[in-house]
Amino acid sequence: MDVPTRSSKGFNPAAWASVVVGLAALAVWPAAVAVDRYSARVGLVQALIGAIPVSLLLALVAILLARRARKRIQVTIGRVGGIRTARLGRAVAITAVCATITGALTLGFFGLLQLFAR
């Protein structure tokens, strides 16, 4: 059709959800530091150890949501829209996975330093 119709552009909730969940996966790390700062019972290492699985799980969910959004775009031959949002969600989720892997490696090396410092 040459003329845009009401069905030409739709809403792709999975694309937006992937962005939101990916940002939540990134926000886990500052939240863990805030838990350490405002809690007398939880130390920084314990808070960061708890942040690893939460961040990884949220990042994987964001990747799956971005995949679902791109699949829906392909099925509807682009009529649903949201390809840029799905790409952004995937990029944010991959960044969160990289941050999680970096945090896990950092805590692992910190544990090794603590072990061999004795």
The three-class DSSP label of residue 57 is helix
User: What pTM did the predictor assign?
Assistant: 0.86
Distance CA 60, CA 28 (A): 14
User: Which one, of 54, 61, 36, lies nearest residue 100 by Cα?
Assistant: 54
User: Which one, of 101, 17, 5, 88, lies nearest residue 52 by Cα?
Assistant: 101
Model pLDDT for residues 10-49, shown as the tens digit of each residue: 788 999 999 999 999 999 999 999 999 999 999 999 999 9
